[in-house]
Structure 1
Amino acid sequence: MLSGVWFLSVLTVAGILQTESRKTAKDICKIRCLCEEKENVLNINCENKGFTTVSLLQPPQYRIYQLFLNGNLLTRLYPNEFVNYSNAVTLHLGNNGLAEIRTGAFSGLKTLKRLHLNNNKLEVLREDTFLGLESLEYLQADYNYISAIEAGAFSKLNKLKVLILNDNLLLSLPSNVFRFVLLTHLDLRGNRLKVMPFAGVLEHIGGIMEIQLEENPWNCTCDLLPLKAWLDTITVFVGEIVCETPFRLHGKDVTQLTRQDLCPRKSASDSSQRGSHADTHIQRLSPTVNPALNPTRAPKASRPPKMRNRPTPRVTVSKDRQSFGPIMVYQTKSPVPLTCPSSCVCTSQSSDNGLNVNCQERKFTNISDLQPKPTSPKKLYLTGNYLQTVYKNDLLEYSSLDLLHLGNNRIAVIQEGAFSNLTSLRRLYLNGNYLEVLYPSMFDGLQSLQYLYLEYNVIKEIKPLTFDALINLQLLFLNNNLLRSLPDNIFGGTALTRLNLRNNHFSHLPVKGVLDQLPAFIQIDLQENPWDCTCDIMGLKDWTEHANSPVIINEVTCESPAKHAGEILKFLGREAICPDSPNLSDGTILSMNHNTDTPRSLSVSPSSYPELHTEVPLSVLILGLLVVFILSVCFGAGLFVFVLKRRKGVPSVPRNANNLDEPSANMNVSTVHFFIYFAYVFVSFVSSFFQCGSGKRRL
């Protein structure tokens, strides 16, 4: 009886606690947060709400969502802080003054793909910082005070592709820090890196597609040879790497220097030994030992919140800060009155006369809000603001721009001609916005553009001729969108070397008019699309497997039909893909021109099958005619000599008018007939040879 009463008491207390917990856990969409749905994903906007914790909030349990917690007071993240947020795919924690992340803070975020920790006060990334984030693909931790990264900090992030660590205090990277991740993009700009070893660091980022190393105080001596050697062997996009020391190389681009420049043979013996070590034992190199976790740096008080000045020792804050905004110039340059928009940070580099304008996470709603206008801007960063429309007149005074970063805004509209004045722009970032349709006039004026980033939008359609004006375009990222098809000749006017179509809705792609417009040996990523491995995909299979095929960064994996789900396309035979078409091989033959590098595939048509013609190059045709002519001359000369010798060998016989030498006459007549016949045969042969050659060339 007593035990029964005790059991009932326990149940009652448990019920009361559960009820109180439900009352405490408030629905996040019914208090101060704004929830709106876009493309079947719920956006929960809790920016600038003064939250010190979010563990007591209750998000939707059966919906995937993006959670925006920018600008709150989350200075510490405690264990199980986000245990209720299991359906979050994106988490923004920028501008929170975040200084500490306790072990297990991200537990429960098993589906999170993007984590933004930018503009905080983090100093160390520990091995247990990112526990629970096994699905993470994108990590942004720029504009912190990170001076140390433990070797295993990213070891559990096996799906991590993009890592942004620019504008921190990193002096070096630990050995094997990237060993267990397959990074495609790495941003290390604005740190304190002087060298970067091959062993333990560079050797583990072989799949990198973009690495940015600008604005570090690179020490261009023998110690930099491993980095130089690595840069000489890769073809990926690399930002400017400028020497800080020694003085003789100050301001020089590392990629333009020779090994002799970095490590002169007549240098001191210790330098020679280092150079020899770098040349012959590159595998044994170890990264620079990481100093103490709190290296000497500018005091935090000198770094105002939300306006982060890069803490590099070679820059000083301009005395004109109140008048012209927070401008920084190199100590080696004389101060000049440069204007900088309020709330932005501007830097002037010795490598050019322009200005780098950083207006990241400043809550701008329009580009026209940047006042006063910056002086000769070279790079403009407007990442993470609230921009929704790029108006036609917004960028009229920015014709000097080389880089424009509009990523991670809310841009859904770009007015016609908005970029028409940016004739010098080489890099344009529009990633992480709400663009749905691309059209030709959107990119008017961008004839110098080389790199275009459009990933992580909601692009469903690309109009014909959209990229025709981008004649210098080399890199195009369209991954993580909603594309199902591409118009004919969409890449015809470009000079692409890298194309990313990953994670769209392509079930198949036509070769004729689309893929055959791409240069040979282009790097292309087609992974994570719902490829339908039936007869329609045979053109793509032939194109990727041809001798002049492109570099496929990741394998094409079938999603349908069910019998091929999960199988790699190149390992499937033709009969397995299209068993009901016995003449498939005839209908999918590649028509190739051996004098060009562009692979072309003919589409399958049951009514018309292409003929396979062999082309006779003009050089072969001329050589053949020359050989025939020489043989003919030799043969004719030999025959002529033979006839003369025969005539000299016949004894003289008296002749008169009525008694002619009949054998001799017959021989002369036969010789003439032979030469006439030989000339006729030779002319006929040459004529037919020309007709055959020209006909085959036309085919």
Structure 2
Amino acid sequence: MAVKRTLILLLLIVLKDSGTTTSQPCSSSCPTDCYCGHRDLTSVPQNLPTNITSLDLRVNDITNLSHSDFSRYGNLEKLILSANEISMIKNGTFHNLTSLTILSLPINQLTTLPADMFQGLGNLQYLIISQNQLSVLPANVFKGLGNLETLFLNTNQLSSLPVGIFEDLKNLTTLRLNRNQLTSLPADIFPVLSSIANVYVNDNPWQCDCDMLSFKQLMTGRYAFESQITCAGPANLTGKGLLHDVQANPGDPGCFSSCSCDSLTGCYCGRRDLTGVPQGLPANITRLDLEVNDITTLSQSDFSRYRSLEKLYLAANQISVINNGTFYNLTSLTILYLPINRLTTLRADMFEGLGNLRGLYVMQNRISSLPANVFDGLVNLDTLFLNTNQLSSLPVGIFEDLKNLTTLRLNRNQLTSLPADIFPVLSSIANVYVNDNPWQCDCDMLRIKQMMTGSFEFESQITCAGPARLRGKNLLREVRVNRDKPNCLSSISGSWSLSQTKHAVLTVPLVWPLLVQIINR
């Protein structure tokens, strides 16, 4: 018995899903709900009871609708016309259906709607026109639909929306505009969209250009629909989210840059294929990230409007030229990050005016030489990364102005020697890295060797690359001063350390008398 009940229940569910339990057959005998779907009808049947409240005409072959089709069914509340071939709806077709609350017209061939199509439908709550071929809408087509709650316009060919088109829809809670051909939205539509609980605008070919500028400027990130707009153009913004990845830039010809700026006055412009520094970003930004782009040259005009910058990131570009005065106006700059570029040298006045700079990173370039005064004036610098370049020598006095330096990286260069005056400077810096250089332990390194005491970590990082007899020797522990040798330095013999040598020298006077007595016996 239980199995029988279950089968009956399943049958009822199937019948309900097919629409045959809630609506009666399409004939003069149906009471209030008439189901006339899947009947190959080419027109609206006129033999139904005049008092019906629901008429389902889905999946037929109707092509046109006119006023006479529904004039005798003035009590209709629900009208389903989905999946027909409707391409024309004449003026006044629905005028007499003042009780209508649901009108469903998806999957038809509509390309436009008459301006007065919904006139008189003040009680309409659900309007479904999705999956047609609508390309334009009259500005006042939805006028008077004050009770409308749900409007589906998705999956059409709409390329634009008239100004004020949704202004009368005060009770709208769901609006679907997704999967159209919309490229922009009028600015006046933003307050309307923000008042609707459920808005869908995704999957449109949005053009993030000047036509979208006013709309972008109204964005706050509070509404879900804002994050659904992904740029399909122009090419430099393709795939970017208008809310988070694109910055309004009224001064730019295209009105947008591909940078995203946050409320903390920082702009991220990394990985945007930029060939120059974007102009028109907020002038008061304190952080600008331009990493991983294609910038080749920098000049003063690039940063002249961003005088509040404190952090500037330019890593992984193609920068080979930094012109005179490029950073001159950035007096608040504390971090300048320039690694992984193509710099071969630095201008003598490159850092002029950057008295507040604390971190300077120019590693992983191709720098082979440095002007003697390049770091003059950087009195607050505490971190300097020069590693992984092609430096073969350092000018005398190059680090003398850097009184607050705590970290200096010179490793992985082509340094062969160090000027003697640099030793006191290096010994005053907490963290110094000089390893992985081809140090030549010859007379040019004599003074450095003579100053070594073993008190500083950097001393043990110098491993000789030459001459051949000292290759692989540690300058601090395995090489001694030898003025008589042409190269001024020689290897400490055997495995004796410097301390062992001192001990041997001290003990010779003690054992010598004993050796003499043994010999004389």
Pick the TM interval, shorter chain: 0.3 to 0.5
TM-score after normalising by structure 2: 0.44
Higher relative helix content: 1
Structure number, greater radius of gyration: 2
